Amino acid sequence: MIKACFFDLGDTLIHYKGIPVNWDEHYTDALMNMENIIRHSLTNANISDAKKILDKYDTLMNPREIEVSCDDIFSEILTLWNVPLGHLDQAVDGFFQYFQRNCIMFNDTLETLFALKKKYKLGIFTDVPYGMKPVRVFDELAKTKILEMMDIVLTSYDVGYRKPSIECFKAMANSISIELDEFIYVGNEKKDIYGARNAGVESILIHRKTTEPPSWGQAITISTLSDLQTIL
């Protein structure tokens, strides 16, 4: 029996305005924003070296299931630059400030969550870019009413794993004391479906585009969150 519904975040419950899918084109500007905050002049070589490190941890270029914290990534950059690690928090803030995201709920999000909340526990599990700290996820959600609907919000930073790792789905189940076959996971990417399916969790693909939906082995495909009210 289904007792809970877990959701991916980006392009499932919310979307982001003005933020590119690939951040690499904006590395230089983000690193220069770091420079202004940590007050350390950067050379072209510094920028080039930092980009190589960021590319190494870019999950679009190099997918991984084990999460790496943003502190580890930016410590590596600062060490290469010979910048004291006492500036680490400022450096991390400077980088992510550049990518300050304006999150917008889809029109069907709150209505669907409100309806499901009457019958199920609700949760979010989202991967974060470059091991971004959960506080930024909560800052984004604080701009919406989504947090009010959720029993639990987990990120790859919290769990130490990224989708499609089965460990992500075990963490979801453990967080609200249910079994893997007692919840569904709704997401929009292949890793969402593969991970859920491999963990024995019922997977639901939300495909909001007008194109033919991909076949990744999902149990169900929906085009709007509102469809969940009929299915569940």
Helices (H), ranges, the chain: 27-38, 44-57, 70-81, 88-98, 109-117, 134-141, 146-149, 156-159, 166-175, 190-199, 227-231
Tell me how far apart the alpha carbons of residues 65 and 63 are, in angstroms, rounded to a whole number. Answer: 7
Same domain flag for 70 and 142: no
Helices (H), ranges, 99-224: 109-117, 134-141, 146-149, 156-159, 166-175, 190-199
Q: Which domain holds residue 183?
A: 4-17+102-231
Same domain flag for 161 and 217: yes
Same domain flag for 109 and 213: yes
Same domain flag for 127 and 74: no
Last residue of a domain, one of 38, 72, 98: 98
Q: Is there a contact between 21 and 202 (Cβ–Cβ < 8 Å)?
A: no
Same domain flag for 119 and 36: no
- State how many domains the chain has: 2
Q: What is the pLDDT of residue 17?
A: 78
Q: What is the pLDDT of residue 78?
A: 96
Which H or E run contains 185? strand 183-187
Last residue of a domain, one of 64, 98, 132: 98
Sheet bearing 4-7, strands edge to edge: 152-155, 121-126, 4-7, 183-187, 202-206, 220-222
Same domain flag for 192 and 137: yes
Query: Interhelix angle for 70-81 vs 44-57, to 10°?
Result: 160
Query: Interhelix angle for 88-98 vs 27-38, to 10°?
Result: 140
Same domain flag for 92 and 197: no
Q: What is the pLDDT of residues 104-135, one digit of tens each?
A: 999 999 999 999 999 999 999 999 999 999 99
Q: Is there a contact between 119 and 232 (Cβ–Cβ < 8 Å)?
A: yes
| Residue % of the chain over a pLDDT of 70 | 99
Q: What is the pTM of this model?
A: 0.93
Q: What is the pLDDT of residue 174?
A: 98
Q: Is there a contact between 7 and 105 (Cβ–Cβ < 8 Å)?
A: no
Give the SS3 label for residue 150. coil
Q: What is the pLDDT of residue 140?
A: 84
Tens-digit pLDDT string for the chain (232 aa): 999 999 999 999 998 877 767 788 889 999 999 988 998 899 999 999 999 999 999 998 999 999 999 999 999 999 999 999 999 999 999 999 888 777 899 999 999 999 999 999 999 999 999 999 999 889 888 889 999 999 999 999 999 999 999 999 999 999 999 999 999 999 999 999 999 999 999 999 999 999 999 999 999 999 999 999 999 8
Same domain flag for 72 and 177: no
Same domain flag for 41 and 121: no
Last residue of a domain, one of 98, 123, 152: 98
Q: What is the pLDDT of residue 230?
A: 92
Same domain flag for 90 and 107: no
Domain of 148: which CATH number? 3.40.50.1000
Tokens of 167: 């460990």
Same domain flag for 143 and 33: no
Q: What is the pLDDT of residue 227?
A: 96
Tell me how far apart the alpha carbons of residues 91 and 93 are, in angstroms, rounded to a whole number. Answer: 5
Q: What is the pLDDT of residue 43?
A: 93
Q: What is the pLDDT of residue 92?
A: 95
Same domain flag for 118 and 226: yes
